[in-house]
Amino acid sequence: MLYRILKVLMRIGINLYYSEIKVRNERYLEHTGPMIIIANHPNTLVDALLIGIISPRPIYYMTKATFFNNKLKMRILRSLNMIPVNRATEAKTQGVDNSSTLEECYRLLAEGKTLVIFPEGNSQMELLLRQLKSGAARIALESELRGNGTLNLKVVPVGLMYTQGEKFRSSIMVNFGNGIGVTHYLEEFRENQSSAARKLTEEFRKLLEGVLVTTQNKEQEALVTALSDALKSRYLHNASDVESEVGFMKKIRDRIEVLTLEKPKKVEQIQQLLWNLNWKTQKLEIKNDFLDRGLRSSMFIRQIITSFIGLIIGFPVYLFGLIHNILPFKFTDFIIPKITKSKEFYAPLAILIGLIIYPLNYAFFAILFYQLFQPELWLLVVYCVLMPVLGFFAYSFSKYMQHISYKLNYIFLLMNKKEVILEMKEQRKQLFQLIFED
């Protein structure tokens, strides 16, 4: 019962925190037998919650034992289908025995349940797919072995990709892959468990690489990410949604891999040109994708006039949303850096804190409104609905005002430093050519 209630709450929290959640190939979860879902692990608890709200049936999670460090946490987390496991890199948690954990996993799979495992072990916000632990492979093989090869166990990979996973109203792409059985390793597993588990783990790695945009090392990741940030543009339609952003990043990654092997000097040119272009855009405070627009200042001026009319009309609505949402928003921004320095925990903490403080904030305003004006019930209901709705409007409106300021600055540069803008547009064009033309 608690699992279902919290699944609904987490669905609400995640959908409010992220502006877009794109799920691809969800059909691969349509399996009637036992299933192990393996995933990369960039965003701590959000990763598990995300898979949980997408899955059509209840799932069970292997979770590090340090989360279960007192009886209250143990009771709550166990009711959420979380199974504690001691990791080799951490001190053992009292009351958690890994042999019992494994037996529970075998039992759940024998009953046809779904188990989620993050083979990387720990969580880091990066493209690099870290070394996979062999635990998932061992559990899969041992479960199938105990079922005499007739369990019909399926291992399904999922790639979790965030545009900026720690930030409010960023986007997520969830990409499921076609699952595999593990019976082809059973004979080897009977003879040599370590060898079979190692080979199956390598196969898991290939499955995950097929549903992710991964890089070979940190240096390549830094370059691919920087190029994607610099060159993505809604005006070129390579950043209109999270799927197009991920697809564009993959194209850049593929080209950088080829050029690194075949034309390393060209990669050096790309790095130098990228650094120069980024330095100019930051110094002049220009959005990168503005360089993909035309240079007609008259068009910009008309847009600015229209935008200002919209700002004047929308400002009172923005003010309502701001007043009713600013305190919990600022409190969340203030408290999370005090709790953790790890950006992988920002989103789950913000979601959990928000699910508590925003309803309390709205309840306070609703009581205050009722005490001051004694409104009819329908008006009170409308007021309560408008508070969160116009809170999102206020956030979007503030981003729009920031966009207008960038646009004004760009118009000023067009009128006073047009030659600099032309030079930057040429550099941007050259950067595209260096990457995508042989």
Q: What is the pLDDT of residues 266-316, one digit of tens each?
A: 999 999 999 999 999 999 999 888 888 776 667 777 877 888 899 999 999
Instruction: Report the pLDDT value the prediction gives residue 136, as an integer from 0 to 100.
Output: 97
Q: Output phi, psi for 19, to 5 deg.
A: -80, -25
In angstroms, rounded to a whole number, what is the distance separating the alpha carbons of residues 128 and 249?
14
Residue showing tokens 């330095």: 279
pTM: 0.94
Instruction: Report the pLDDT value the prediction gives residue 296, as an integer from 0 to 100.
Output: 67
From the list 183, 179, 209, the residue with the least C-alpha distance to 196 is 183
Is there a single domain that holds both residue 190 and residue 227? no
Instruction: Report the pLDDT value the prediction gives residue 92, as an integer from 0 to 100.
Output: 80
- Pinpoint the alpha helices (H) of 18-89: 44-54, 71-79
Q: Does residue 66 belong to any structural domain of this protein?
A: yes
Which two structure tokens, joined as six digits, stand for 29?
């979860």
Q: Does residue 129 belong to any structural domain of this protein?
A: yes
Task: Pick out the chain residues at pLDDT < 70.
Answer: 1, 295-297
Domain of 79?
Answer: 2-210
Q: How many domains does the chain have?
A: 3
Residue showing tokens 């305190």: 327
Instruction: Report the pLDDT value the prediction gives residue 88, as an integer from 0 to 100.
Output: 74
Is there a single domain that holds both residue 282 and residue 334? no
Is there a single domain that holds both residue 263 and residue 380? no
Q: Does residue 13 belong to any structural domain of this protein?
A: yes
Q: Are 391 and 359 in contact (CB under 8 A)?
A: no
How would you list the strands of the sheet with 154-162, edge to edge? Answer: 20-24, 171-176, 154-162, 35-39, 114-117, 59-64, 82-85
Is there a single domain that holds both residue 140 and residue 238? no
Domain final residue pick, 160, 188, 210: 210
